[in-house]
Amino acid sequence: MFKAASIPNLDRLWEVFLEVMASIGCKDCLCLKNFLGLRLPRIHAAPNNSEEPMTYAKTSSWRKIRSFILWSPFIQVFKKHRYPWIQLAGHQGNFHAGEAGSVLKKLDAREQKCFQRLMTDSLKDFVPEYRGNVEKNGETYIQLQDLLASFTQPCVMDVKMGVRTYLEAELEKARKSPTLRKDMYQKMIEVDSNAPTKEEHQQKAVTKPRYMQWRDEMSSSTELGFRVEGIKKTDGSSTKDFKKTKSRENIVDIISSFVASNEAIAAKYIKKLKEIMAAQESSSFFRSHEVVGSSLLFVHDAEENVGVWMIDFGKTESLPGDKTLDHRSQWQEGNREDGYLFGLDNVISIFEEVHTGLSSSSV
């Protein structure tokens, strides 16, 4: 174990660096000198049999090393272990660092099955590559392509697609054997203390479907077929305060800010979104599945590299028999329509509005 002397957070940076170098087959710390052409800070070894940690001096070299550690593509996956960019609104504990260029996500049998089918579908190029399963610390994970590996200091947005984020099966289950959730009641009153019914206030709990229905109706999901879940900017700042963002006008402002009023980036996103829509409309997987709780991950950087991918298939269920969905029809319980393409129509329309506004202002 290494520990920095009077240098905040460098102990963890050094740990991460050692993990990275080991992952690429280097066990000699002096390779840093060869790789970067830097003078290593002097490392003071603790006496034999001493429990005191090793320390290193505060030098200008460490500032260079810190910059390398923060932005090297070799360790983007390690950063995501602590700062999970790939799923801004997801469960951080479900992700771990994988091999370089990969991330590990806790195994969900339904999601794994989806990825296996998607690898042979027309949507293959618009989802993370599935690279099999990995065992780690007694847990099984699916190994997925690191979607951010080719970007430099990326700006990321997670957009939850569809008019609902709960499965029809969840509604049915809740009616048969309702489970009251105090944590979701707490989340509800933190946003709107008047949202729970009198009975829910007495119970100080709500069912999961009730919470999710309220969450969808409060946001733009029900009316527009999507909602912004979170945004992470290139400077590292992140925002997830979009729970009450409902109007189209507000979302136009959010998207304009996300692309940093860059006309070229907005145009590239429109092109990518239309490519995804075309692939979805021709996809046998998409037609035959209820796609709920899935997101579109938007990524761009200062070099105007742009990417959009479908992520999160933990609630994507195959339909019985020959049943298919058009993903645009209005949802009525029993028809299993999810409104995904209805939402994507609106996402594209809003990006086009942003692009038109930027084009007009640049004239």
**Average of pLDDT values for 123-130?**
97
Token pair listed for 251: 């979302």
Of 283, 295, 293, the closest CA to residue 314 belongs to 293
Work out the mean pLDDT of the chain and round it to a whole number.
82
pLDDT of residue 171: 85
pLDDT digit string, tens, across residues 31-74: 444 444 444 444 444 455 555 554 444 444 445 444 444 444 44
134 φ/ψ angles, rounded to the nearest 5 degrees: -135, 140
Minimum mean pLDDT range among 83-92, 166-175, 344-353: 83-92
| 145 class by beta-carbon count within 10 Å (0-12 exposed, 13-18 middle, 19+ buried) | middle
pLDDT of residue 39: 44
pLDDT of residue 42: 44
113 φ/ψ angles, rounded to the nearest 5 degrees: -60, -40
CATH superfamily of 155-173+217-362: Inositol polyphosphate kinase (3.30.470.160)
Q: Could you state, in order of their start, the residue ranges of all structural domains in the chain? A: 10-71, 77-145, 155-173+217-362, 174-216
Residue 111 has, within 13 A of its CA and on its CB side, a CA count of 24
**97 strand-pairing partners:** 103
Residue with tokens 């963890």: 12
Q: What is the model's pTM?
A: 0.75
**CA 231, CA 242: separation in Å to the nearest integer?**
10
Beta pairing class for 295-300 and 155-161: antiparallel
Instruction: For the sheet with 139-145, list strands across it.
Output: 95-97, 102-106, 139-145, 130-136
pLDDT of residue 137: 87
Minimum mean pLDDT range among 1-10, 162-171, 238-247, 265-274: 1-10
pLDDT digit string, tens, across residues 190-220: 999 999 999 999 999 999 889 989 999 999 9
Using the predicted structure, report yes or no on whether residue 10 has a pLDDT greater than 80. Answer: no
Using the predicted structure, report yes or no on whether residue 79 has a pLDDT greater than 50. Answer: no
Higher pLDDT, 249 or 56: 249
pLDDT of residue 114: 98
Token pair listed for 85: 């960019």
**CA 6, CA 47: separation in Å to the nearest integer?**
20
Using the predicted structure, report yes or no on whether residue 268 has a pLDDT greater than 50. Answer: yes
56-61 own/partner pairs: CB under 8 Å, 24+ apart: 56/2, 56/4, 56/5, 56/14, 57/5, 58/4, 58/5, 58/6, 58/7
pLDDT of residue 190: 92
Give the rounded percent of residues in the chain with a pLDDT score beyond 90: 60
